Each structure stands twice: as C-alpha cells, then as structure tokens.
C-alpha cells in the first residue's frame, strides 16, 4: 500500500489510466495534462518536469492519482482518506514547490490541512470551478452579427494576449503559452469577428483524449461583452469539436460568475460536479519577517 511516482507520463497513463478513464469527466484535467506531456514532452507546462503518482490500496488496487507540474497547483483525483497524509509527506520530503492544489472540495481541504501542517503556510480559496458536460448543443438563434474564423499563426500575438487575460481574470490555467503554436496549427482556437471584421471574442478546445475535449480559453474583449459574442464563438467551437468526431465535451466555469454559468446552461451544458483550487500562502508573520518588518 502506498504511492508510486514517476516523471514519465506514459508510465503514469499505463498504471493510473484505467482508474482515471472510469470517471473521465471528473478526471479530465489529469487525463489531458498527462496526454499533453506524453505527446509534447516534459516541459510543456513549465521548466521543471512534472511529477505523476498513483496510490495502491491494501489489495494492490489503484485508488487515486495526482499530477504536479510546477509552477501550477497539484491536481488530484478522488483519493481514499488513507492516501492524503502520505501524499503530503511525499511531496514535502521531495521539496516540491507546491503553490496550491486542485481537487473535489473535501479532497482539496484534506490535503491542504496535511500540507499546511508540514509547511508554514495557509490555504486560501483561489478558484471554485463547476464542471459542465454538453448534453445537447443549443446554438444561439439568431446569432450576433459577424462571423467565426479559425485562428491562424497570424493571430498568435492577439490570441496569446487574450489567453493571458483569461488567466488574469479568472485565475484558471488555460495551458502553457509554449503550446500556442501547436494549438494554432491544429485549428483548436476560434475567433469571432464583428461586422467591421474586428476580433472580439475567442474560444478553444483541448486535445482529444478518449473521445473527450474540454472547451476553454473563452474570452470576450471587455468593451464588446453582453452582445452575444461569447455564446456565439463558444457554440461554433463546440460544433467544430463535435463535427470532428468528439463524443464528449466538457468545460469548467467559475462558480462565482453567474454570467458564464448562465451562458453555458443556455448552450446545453449540464453541471457535473464542483472542484476547488486552493492557493498556499505564507503566514502573515512569516511574510512580514521576510520583508524585514517587526
């Protein structure tokens, strides 16, 4: 019984893949991240190689998994209670630069308690996410004026700025900027242009893993919001994914953003579960001492 770790994505998928695929929607982040590393190399999400791990129970059955790709938070699957404290111990012993954790609420909280007991930090809620799955696509009718266009390399500077804006506004990790060229080459990003041909909104989808893609990078330029552009470009992106043969479409929305949640419901997405991202911060006293305050 215990944790096994590796820096090799394919080894992780071979071992933990059956567990993760048994609940592919809930484990979409882990599956997509591991598939990206397996396909594009260990530096796809950052300069430090990711660490993968899986937990085997008393009968040898794999009951949990995690991925940690610095500087991003560790991502955890559902875990048995017995696996939480040993995982915190393992990551602490390895001096992993852990900035936070993402998991179903009770798992995130249990891990944070174990981690904070080993590090002089506190856990704060960074983001509360709601996972949605598309039941049946309801495209806006009528659509707003303008047209959709697949983003190309010529749009790279603009798209990069918009994806960074999504991260700043929501705290969500959309993907490593170094993979942008590959996403553009794959036609995974769509731009909505208004009647003057001005780009006003963006949406994209992740790589396909076992028939599943995740809609992400949904963004509308601030002056053009509440005009239906976000709904339109998201619907077009969903339609393109479905037409490519994708059988399951997922997306995450900020629980505390009623506008985006209402939009996705109108498009035909149904809630699956919630996920919490906790951020680890130094205690106020520790931070003050580091700044030389007394």
**Does 220 lie in the same domain as 146?**
yes
**Does 143 lie in the same domain as 249?**
yes
**Does 160 lie in the same domain as 66?**
no
**Does 74 lie in the same domain as 167?**
no
Which one, of 227, 104, 218, 223, lies nearest residue 169 by Cα?
Answer: 218
Q: Report if residue 245 sits inside a domain.
A: yes
Structure tokens at 84: 């939480």
Strand pairing of 100-103 and 212-220? unpaired
**Structural domain that includes position 60:** 2-129+277-286
Give the torsion through C-alpha atoms of 98, 109, 20, 187, to 10 deg. Answer: -60
Number of domains forming the structure of the chain: 2
Query: How does pLDDT run across 56-88, given as a tens digit for each residue?
Result: 988 889 999 999 999 899 999 999 999 999 999
Least confident span in 61-65, 70-74, 176-180, 213-217: 176-180
Which H or E element spans position 125?
strand 121-134
Query: Apex CA 108: angle with CA 105 and CA 111, to 5°?
Result: 145
What are the phi and psi torsion angles at 288 (to 5°)?
A: -65, -40
Q: Report if residue 92 sits inside a domain.
A: yes
Query: How does pLDDT run across 153-172, given as a tens digit for each residue?
Result: 999 999 999 988 887 776 66
**Does 263 lie in the same domain as 144?**
yes
Least confident span in 23-37, 162-176, 198-212: 162-176
What mean pLDDT is predicted for residues 107-131? 96
Instruction: Give the C-alpha separation, 202 to 199, whole Å.
Output: 8
Torsion sign, CA atoms 265, 270, 273, 278 = negative
Q: Report if residue 293 sits inside a domain.
A: no
Q: Are 50 and 33 in contact (CB under 8 A)?
A: yes
Structure tokens at 37: 């590393």
Helices 258-267 + 229-243 axis angle, to 10: 40
Q: Report if residue 292 sits inside a domain.
A: no
Q: Are 140 and 238 in contact (CB under 8 A)?
A: no
The predicted pLDDT at position 294 comes to: 36
Which one, of 48, 276, 259, 273, lies nearest residue 172 by Cα?
Answer: 276
Beta strands in 135-162 (DSSP E): 147-150
Q: Report if residue 225 sits inside a domain.
A: yes
Structure tokens at 156: 């790279």
Does 178 have pLDDT greater than 80?
no
**Does 191 lie in the same domain as 81?**
no
Three-state SS across 233-292?
A: HHHHHHHHHHHCCCCEEEEEEECCCHHHHHHHHHHCEEEEEEEEEEEEEECHHHHHHHCC
**Does 93 lie in the same domain as 154?**
no
Does 94 have pLDDT greater than 80?
yes
**Does 175 lie in the same domain as 155?**
yes
**Does 217 lie in the same domain as 186?**
yes
**Does 199 lie in the same domain as 118?**
no
Does 41 have pLDDT greater than 60?
yes
Q: Report if residue 32 sits inside a domain.
A: yes
Q: Report if residue 294 sits inside a domain.
A: no
Structure tokens at 6: 């590796």
CATH of the domain at 261: 3.40.630.30
Instruction: Give the C-alpha separation, 57 to 62, whole Å.
Output: 6
Sheet with 199-205, side-by-side order of all strands: 2-6, 51-56, 62-68, 74-76, 100-103, 269-282, 121-134, 248-254, 212-220, 199-205, 189-193, 147-150
Least confident span in 34-43, 123-132, 222-231: 34-43
**Does 107 lie in the same domain as 155?**
no
N-terminal to C-terminal alpha carbon distance within the chain: 46
Which one, of 104, 129, 133, lies nearest residue 253 by Cα?
Answer: 129
Who's near 157: CB < 8 A, 6+ residues apart?
A: none
Q: Report if residue 189 sits inside a domain.
A: yes
Instruction: Give the C-alpha separation, 157 to 191, whole Å.
Output: 13
pLDDT category of residue 291 using cuts at 50, 70 and 90:
very low
**Does 261 lie in the same domain as 145?**
yes
């Amino acid at each position: 019984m215990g944790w096994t770790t590796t820096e090799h994505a394919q080894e992780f998928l071979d071992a933990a893949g059956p567990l993760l695929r048994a609940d592919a929607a809930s484990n979409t982040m882990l599956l997509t991240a591991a598939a990206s590393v397996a396909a594009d190399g260990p530096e796809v999400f950052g300069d430090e190689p990711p660490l993968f791990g899986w937990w085997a129970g008393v009968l040898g059955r794999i009951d949990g998994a995690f991925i940690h790709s610095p500087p991003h938070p560790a991502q955890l699957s559902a875990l048995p209670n017995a696996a939480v404290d040993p995982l915190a111990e393992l990551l602490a012993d390895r001096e992993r630069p852990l900035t936070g954790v993402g998991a179903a609420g009770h798992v995130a909280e249990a891990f944070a308690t174990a981690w904070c007991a080993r590090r002089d930090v506190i856990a704060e809620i960074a983001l509360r996410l709601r996972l949605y799955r598309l039941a049946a696509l309801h495209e806006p009718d009528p659509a707003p004026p303008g047209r959709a266009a697949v983003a190309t390399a010529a749009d790279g500077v603009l798209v990069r700025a918009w994806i960074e804006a999504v991260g700043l506004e929501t705290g969500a990790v959309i993907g490593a900027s170094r993979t942008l060229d590959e996403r553009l080459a794959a036609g995974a990003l769509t731009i909505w242009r208004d009647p003057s041909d001005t780009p006003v909104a963006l949406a994209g989808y992740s790589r396909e893993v076992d028939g599943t893609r995740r809609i992400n990078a949904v963004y509308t330029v601030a002056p053009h919001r509440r005009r239906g552009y976000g709904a339109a470009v998201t619907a077009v992106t969903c339609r393109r994914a479905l037409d490519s043969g994708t059988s399951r479409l997922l997306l995450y929305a900020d629980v505390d953003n009623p506008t985006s949640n209402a939009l996705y419901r109108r498009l035909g997405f149904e809630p699956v579960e919630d996920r919490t991202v906790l951020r680890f911060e130094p205690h106020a006293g520790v931070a003050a001492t580091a700044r030389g305050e007394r």
